[in-house]
């Protein structure tokens, strides 16, 4: 019984922490009412490995990690779409990246373009972007060494991830979520994104169930 109570307490703490790390613009409903198609762009990555590597190698690895998050998000949203979970569609990342290449927009210079410019180029209503600050290669997996106390206390910090949704017409930030990456976060990039987004089911702004509740709030 004590064990079940302890697990429930941990789950409650995780949920409260997820809610605390979520920002949503007060203008979200107004600015997103005509959103139908969103693009996911590669995440901006800052890598600080313990082992010494060249700047060129570091840049290549940062790019790889950034594209890995883009791919993992598409996988999650794709699976969710099959279950009819979302009110919007997501542009195929192969198409997103192909269009960017055609416009000579690369991982190295994409940050010089505004959200409005990228939305016009990709012909989407909003952009999903983000930042990844890590000290391991997340795409290769979190180290397997396991300590129960590390798990409970949330030690072994591997960095942070931030996900943003910005309106294409105005460029304004509509929604943001930030979270620490540790042994509880997931085994690799796909697992991290899957676990993180499942925690945010009712907090993700395009979730169908959430939209229903907002339109039809329960009254006593």
**From CA 170, how far away is CA 165, in angstroms rounded?**
12
Predicted confidence (pLDDT) per residue in 175-195, tens digit: 999 999 887 787 888 988 988
Range of the structural domain that residue 172 is part of: 26-214
Contact at 8 Å (CB) between 124 and 91?
Answer: yes
Q: What is the CATH number of the domain that holds 100?
A: 3.40.50.10610
For the chain, the domain total comes to 1
In the chain, where does DSSP find H-type helix?
A: 2-20, 28-32, 55-82, 93-102, 115-122, 148-153, 189-199, 208-215
Q: Rounded to an integer, what is the distance from CA 16 to the centroid of its chain? A: 18
Q: Tell whether 181 is covered by a domain.
A: yes
Which of 30, 41, 22 has the alpha carbon at shortest distance from 128?
41
pTM (whole model) above 0.85:
no
Band (pLDDT 50/70/90 cuts) for residue 82 is low
Is 18 part of any domain? no
Asked whether residue 163 carries a pLDDT value surpassing 80, the answer given is yes
């Amino acid at each position: 019984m004590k064990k079940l109570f302890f697990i429930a307490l941990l789950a409650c703490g995780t949920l409260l922490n997820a809610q605390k790390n979520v920002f949503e613009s007060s203008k979200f409903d107004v600015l997103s009412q005509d959103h139908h198609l969103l693009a996911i762009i590669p995440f901006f990555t800052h890598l600080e490995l313990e082992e010494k590597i060249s700047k060129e190698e570091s840049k290549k690895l940062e790019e790889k990690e950034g594209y890995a998050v883009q791919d993992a998000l598409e996988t999650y949203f794709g699976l969710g779409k099959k279950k009819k979970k979302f009110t919007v569609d997501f542009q195929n990342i192969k198409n997103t990246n192909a269009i960017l290449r055609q416009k000579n927009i690369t991982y190295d210079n994409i940050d010089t373009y505004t959200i409005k410019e990228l939305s016009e180029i990709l012909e989407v209503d909003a952009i999903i972007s983000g930042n990844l600050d890590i000290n391991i290669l997340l795409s290769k997996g979190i180290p397997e060494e396991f300590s129960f106390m590390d798990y409970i206390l949330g030690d072994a910090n591997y960095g942070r991830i931030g996900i943003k949704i910005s309106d294409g017409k105005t460029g304004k930030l509509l929604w943001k979520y930030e979270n620490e990456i540790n042994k509880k976060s997931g085994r690799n990039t796909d697992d991290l994104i899957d676990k993180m987004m499942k925690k945010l089911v009712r907090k993700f702004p395009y979730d169908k169930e959430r939209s229903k509740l907002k339109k039809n709030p329960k009254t006593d």
